[in-house]
Amino acid sequence: MLTVRVNNTDYQADVTPDTPLLWVLRDVLGLTGTKFGCGIAECGACTVHLDGKAVRACSLPVGLLNGRPVTTIEGIGNDPLAQAVQKAWMDIDVVQCGYCQPGQIMSAIALLRDNPHPTDTDIDAAMSGNICRCGTYLRIRQAIHNAAGLSA
Protein backbone atom coordinates (compact mmCIF):
# COMPACT_ATOMS: atom_id res chain seq x y z
CA MET A 1 0.00 0.00 0.00
CA LEU A 2 1.28 3.41 -0.96
CA THR A 3 -0.11 6.64 0.41
CA VAL A 4 -0.77 9.46 -2.00
CA ARG A 5 -2.01 12.88 -1.04
CA VAL A 6 -4.37 14.16 -3.71
CA ASN A 7 -6.51 17.28 -3.44
CA ASN A 8 -5.85 17.49 0.30
CA THR A 9 -6.95 13.93 0.99
CA ASP A 10 -4.71 10.99 1.78
CA TYR A 11 -5.48 7.87 -0.21
CA GLN A 12 -4.13 4.36 0.11
CA ALA A 13 -3.43 2.71 -3.19
CA ASP A 14 -2.51 -0.95 -3.63
CA VAL A 15 -0.13 -0.53 -6.53
CA THR A 16 3.54 -1.17 -7.22
CA PRO A 17 5.81 1.87 -6.77
CA ASP A 18 6.59 2.04 -10.48
CA THR A 19 2.92 2.75 -11.29
CA PRO A 20 2.68 6.21 -12.81
CA LEU A 21 0.61 8.66 -10.80
CA LEU A 22 -1.72 8.99 -13.81
CA TRP A 23 -3.09 5.47 -13.42
CA VAL A 24 -3.47 5.77 -9.68
CA LEU A 25 -5.53 8.90 -10.24
CA ARG A 26 -7.63 7.56 -13.08
CA ASP A 27 -8.08 3.88 -12.41
CA VAL A 28 -7.62 3.55 -8.65
CA LEU A 29 -9.00 6.82 -7.31
CA GLY A 30 -11.47 7.47 -10.13
CA LEU A 31 -10.18 10.99 -10.77
CA THR A 32 -10.60 10.81 -14.53
CA GLY A 33 -10.21 14.53 -15.21
CA THR A 34 -6.49 13.93 -15.67
CA LYS A 35 -6.15 12.45 -19.14
CA PHE A 36 -4.01 9.80 -20.77
CA GLY A 37 -2.57 10.98 -24.07
CA CYS A 38 0.83 9.47 -24.79
CA GLY A 39 2.45 7.95 -21.70
CA ILE A 40 5.82 9.53 -22.53
CA ALA A 41 5.37 13.14 -21.33
CA GLU A 42 5.15 14.40 -24.91
CA CYS A 43 1.58 15.72 -24.88
CA GLY A 44 0.76 17.16 -21.45
CA ALA A 45 -2.79 15.79 -21.27
CA CYS A 46 -1.97 14.30 -17.86
CA THR A 47 -0.64 17.53 -16.31
CA VAL A 48 -1.32 17.87 -12.58
CA HIS A 49 0.31 19.93 -9.86
CA LEU A 50 2.97 18.48 -7.61
CA ASP A 51 3.86 20.90 -4.87
CA GLY A 52 2.14 23.50 -7.02
CA LYS A 53 4.29 22.85 -10.10
CA ALA A 54 2.94 21.44 -13.35
CA VAL A 55 4.12 17.85 -13.85
CA ARG A 56 3.19 15.02 -16.21
CA ALA A 57 1.47 12.33 -14.18
CA CYS A 58 2.12 9.67 -16.83
CA SER A 59 5.87 9.84 -16.21
CA LEU A 60 5.89 10.15 -12.44
CA PRO A 61 6.13 6.81 -10.62
CA VAL A 62 4.09 7.05 -7.41
CA GLY A 63 7.05 5.57 -5.55
CA LEU A 64 8.89 8.83 -6.14
CA LEU A 65 6.15 11.07 -4.70
CA ASN A 66 7.55 10.92 -1.16
CA GLY A 67 4.47 12.47 0.37
CA ARG A 68 4.45 15.54 -1.82
CA PRO A 69 0.90 16.79 -2.39
CA VAL A 70 -0.82 16.39 -5.76
CA THR A 71 -3.58 18.61 -7.09
CA THR A 72 -5.74 17.58 -10.03
CA ILE A 73 -8.29 19.41 -12.14
CA GLU A 74 -10.94 18.13 -9.73
CA GLY A 75 -9.22 19.82 -6.80
CA ILE A 76 -8.76 23.38 -8.05
CA GLY A 77 -12.33 24.62 -7.80
CA ASN A 78 -11.79 26.88 -4.80
CA ASP A 79 -8.56 28.49 -5.93
CA PRO A 80 -9.21 32.06 -7.20
CA LEU A 81 -6.48 31.85 -9.81
CA ALA A 82 -7.85 28.55 -11.09
CA GLN A 83 -11.33 30.02 -11.21
CA ALA A 84 -10.02 32.95 -13.21
CA VAL A 85 -8.36 30.59 -15.67
CA GLN A 86 -11.46 28.41 -16.07
CA LYS A 87 -13.61 31.50 -16.52
CA ALA A 88 -11.24 32.85 -19.14
CA TRP A 89 -11.44 29.50 -20.94
CA MET A 90 -15.24 29.62 -20.94
CA ASP A 91 -15.45 33.30 -21.87
CA ILE A 92 -13.84 32.71 -25.24
CA ASP A 93 -14.84 29.06 -25.64
CA VAL A 94 -11.36 27.65 -25.90
CA VAL A 95 -12.42 24.03 -25.87
CA GLN A 96 -13.25 21.89 -28.86
CA CYS A 97 -13.09 18.18 -28.13
CA GLY A 98 -11.84 19.24 -24.70
CA TYR A 99 -9.77 16.17 -24.01
CA CYS A 100 -6.46 17.97 -23.58
CA GLN A 101 -7.95 20.95 -21.77
CA PRO A 102 -7.62 19.83 -18.13
CA GLY A 103 -3.90 19.45 -18.82
CA GLN A 104 -3.75 22.79 -20.61
CA ILE A 105 -5.53 24.46 -17.71
CA MET A 106 -3.25 22.90 -15.10
CA SER A 107 -0.22 24.09 -17.08
CA ALA A 108 -1.72 27.57 -17.42
CA ILE A 109 -2.44 27.88 -13.70
CA ALA A 110 1.10 26.86 -12.81
CA LEU A 111 2.46 29.40 -15.31
CA LEU A 112 0.35 32.24 -13.93
CA ARG A 113 1.28 31.38 -10.37
CA ASP A 114 4.96 31.86 -11.22
CA ASN A 115 4.46 34.65 -13.70
CA PRO A 116 1.23 36.60 -13.20
CA HIS A 117 1.63 38.64 -16.39
CA PRO A 118 3.30 36.46 -19.01
CA THR A 119 4.20 37.66 -22.48
CA ASP A 120 3.34 35.64 -25.59
CA THR A 121 6.87 34.27 -25.46
CA ASP A 122 6.49 33.22 -21.83
CA ILE A 123 3.20 31.54 -22.61
CA ASP A 124 4.60 29.73 -25.63
CA ALA A 125 7.58 28.45 -23.63
CA ALA A 126 5.39 27.19 -20.80
CA MET A 127 2.57 25.78 -22.91
CA SER A 128 4.26 24.22 -25.94
CA GLY A 129 4.67 20.93 -24.10
CA ASN A 130 0.88 20.59 -24.17
CA ILE A 131 -0.49 19.24 -27.44
CA CYS A 132 -3.97 20.13 -28.63
CA ARG A 133 -4.99 18.09 -31.62
CA CYS A 134 -8.00 20.31 -32.32
CA GLY A 135 -5.63 23.27 -32.63
CA THR A 136 -7.02 25.59 -29.95
CA TYR A 137 -3.63 27.13 -29.25
CA LEU A 138 -4.53 30.67 -30.29
CA ARG A 139 -7.45 30.75 -27.91
CA ILE A 140 -5.45 29.16 -25.10
CA ARG A 141 -2.86 31.90 -25.41
CA GLN A 142 -5.57 34.56 -25.43
CA ALA A 143 -7.37 32.99 -22.47
CA ILE A 144 -4.16 33.03 -20.44
CA HIS A 145 -3.72 36.73 -21.16
CA ASN A 146 -7.34 37.29 -20.19
CA ALA A 147 -6.97 35.27 -17.01
CA ALA A 148 -3.91 37.33 -16.09
CA GLY A 149 -6.15 40.38 -16.38
CA LEU A 150 -8.98 38.77 -14.43
CA SER A 151 -6.79 37.72 -11.56
CA ALA A 152 -4.81 40.97 -11.42
Partner 1 sequence: MIVLPLAKRLITTAITGLAVTCLTLAACQPATAASPDHPDPATIARGQYLARLADCEACHTAPGGMPFAGGRPFEIPGMGTLYASNITPDPASGIGAWSDDEFVRAVRAGISPGWKHLYPAMPYQDYARMTPDEIRAIRAYLTTIKPVARKPPANAIRFPFSIRAIMIGWNLFNGPSSSYPDDPSHTPQWNRGRTLVEGPGHCAECHSPRNLTMGTSHSHAYAGAITAGWTAYNLSSDLKSGLGSWSDEALNAYLTTGHANGHGTAAGPMAEVISYSLRFMTQSDRAAMITYLRSLAPQPSAESQDHSAGPTQAALARGASLFAGACSGCHLTTGAGRQIDFATISGASTLKDPDGHNLIQVILEGSQLTTDQGQISMPRFGAGYSDGDLSDIAAYTLLTLGKTRPAFDTNAVSTIKNSK
Partner 2 sequence: MNTPATPSRRHFLAGATGLIVAGLLPKRRAFSRPSEFYQGPLVENTDPAFTPNAYIRIAPSTIPGDSGITLILPNVEMGQGIYTGAVTLIAEELNVDPDQVALEAAPPDDAYVAADMGTQATGGSTSTIFEWTTLRQAGAAARLLLTQAAASRWNCPISDCTTRQGRVLHTPSGDSFAYAELATDAATLPVPKTIPLKPAKDWTLIGRSRHRVDSRAKVEGRPLFGIDIRVPDMKHATVAACPVMGGTPGDMDRDAALRTPGVHAVLTIKNAVCVVADHYWAAKKGLEALAITWNEGPNASIDTHRIYSELHAALAEPKPIIAKSKGDAAAAMTRAASRYEATYQQPLLAHAPMEPINCTIHIRPDSADVWVGTQVPMWARDSVADIADLPKDKVRLHCQYIGGGFGRRLEYEYVTQAAQFAKQVPYPLKIVWSREEDLTLDRFRPAYVDRLRAGLNTQGRIESMEFRVVGPAVVARWEPAGLSPNGFDEDLAAAISITPYTFPASRLDYVRREAPGVVTAWWRGVGGTRGLFVVESFIDELALRAGADPVAYRRELIRDQPRARTVLDLAAEKSGWTTPLPKGHGRGVAVQFLFGSYLGTIIEVDMTEPKEVRITRVTVAVDCGQPVNPDQIRAQIEGGMIFGLGTTLFNEITLSKGRVQENNFNLWRIMRMNEAPPIEIHIVQSTEEPGGIGETGTAAAAPALANAIAAASGHRLRTLPLLPALKGA
C-alpha 78/C-alpha 80 separation (Å) is 6
Q: How far is CA 37 from the centre of its chain?
A: 13
We find the least distance from the C-beta atom of residue 68 to partner 1, in angstroms, to be 10
Residue 118 contact partner, candidates partner 1, partner 2, none, CB within 5 to 8 A by sort of partner? none
Site for partner 2 in 115-144 (CB under 8 A): 123-125, 127-141
Can residue 19 be called a binding residue for partner 1 (CB under 8 A)?
yes
CA–CA distance from 85 to each of 27, 62, 108 (Å)? 27, 28, 8
Q: Residue 102 — φ and ψ, nearest 5°?
A: -55, -40
Residues that bind partner 2 (CB under 8 A): 9, 11-16, 18-20, 23-24, 26-40, 42-43, 45, 72-74, 77, 86, 89-90, 93-102, 105, 123-125, 127-141
